[in-house]
Amino acid sequence: MLSTEGTQRTDRKNRWLAGQLAAVAGFVNASGFLLIGTFTSHVTGNVGRLSHDVVLHDAHAAGLALLMVVAFFVGALLASMAIEAGLLGRRVYAALLLGEAALLLGFFVVTQLLPATSPRAHDAQALVLCAAMGLQNSLVTRLSGAVVRTTHLTGVVTDLGIEAARWFRYSRARVAQASRLRLTVSPSPVERPHAPKALLLLTILACFLLGGFAGAILTVRLGPDALVAPIVGLAVLGVWALVQRVVAADSRA
């Protein structure tokens, strides 16, 4: 699943990767909101919060919002720099997954060491989660050749709307052709929709939602301990990918 990059990847590999990591992002986003009162898997909301807090002259809140944007950026930057350096070859993707698991583990440790009511604890936790999500988004974007993004749904829902329009026009044209009726007035040619792309987008949306529900349910019941689930999931995925790379290298030797 992590052995190929960009156009060399199959639709199936992209769906598996997108599904698993979208579920992680949905879980972390929902769990983080319940634990610290803020969403951490995307930047848009924090930019809006920054503008709002600046206008209200709330320096602390504005500073936190800005730092969350910076933390997301730093996570994405470090992941991309690791990939660009090429020191680990394609094992870098497995290493980055383990790095993301380590960041989530850091979040978990902070919840155990600092009082739950401490503003500083919440600030530190928010920054750690933002960095983890920035790292994940950069990792998946680079690995898939910008085909897959998993930490937010704005682009996914937009693309689904575009694909739905294509499917509607294509289906209407097929019906018109079969029944010999003129059901379309558009002069532009009808494009055949790309089914794998629609399936990929639906996979991301569904898995993000499922991860969000799972994160909310487990966090309500278990509190911070719920984060053990994505930590273990990412660690297993990273170790499995490393083992696969070692096996592949041995088979070529």
The domains of the chain, with CATH numbers, are 11-252 (1.20.1250)
Contacts (Cβ under 8 Å, ≥6 apart) of 9? 143, 144, 145, 147
Q: Which residue pairs from 227-230 have beta carbons closer than 8 angstroms and sit at least 24 positions apart in sequence?
A: 227/28, 227/31, 227/104, 227/107, 227/108, 228/108, 229/27, 230/24, 230/27, 230/28, 230/101, 230/104
Give the pTM.
0.84
pLDDT at site 247: 43
CA angle 42, 50, 130 (to 5 degrees): 30
Q: Mapping DSSP to helix (H, G, I), strand (E, B) and coil, where does residue 229 land?
A: helix
pLDDT at site 101: 95
pLDDT at site 245: 58
pLDDT at site 6: 58
> pLDDT of 26-48, one tens digit each?
999 999 999 888 888 888 888 88
pLDDT at site 8: 67
Gyration radius from the chain CA atoms: 21
Q: Is the distance from CB of 153 to CB of 208 less than 8 angstroms?
A: yes
pLDDT at site 250: 41
Mean pLDDT of successive 10-residue segments in the chain (253 residues)? 63 85 93 88 84 88 89 93 80 90 90 69 85 91 75 83 83 67 57 80 92 96 93 92 60 46
DSSP structural state of residue 180: T
Place of tokens 């997954």: 97
Question: CA 242 to CA 245: how far, in whole Å?
Answer: 5
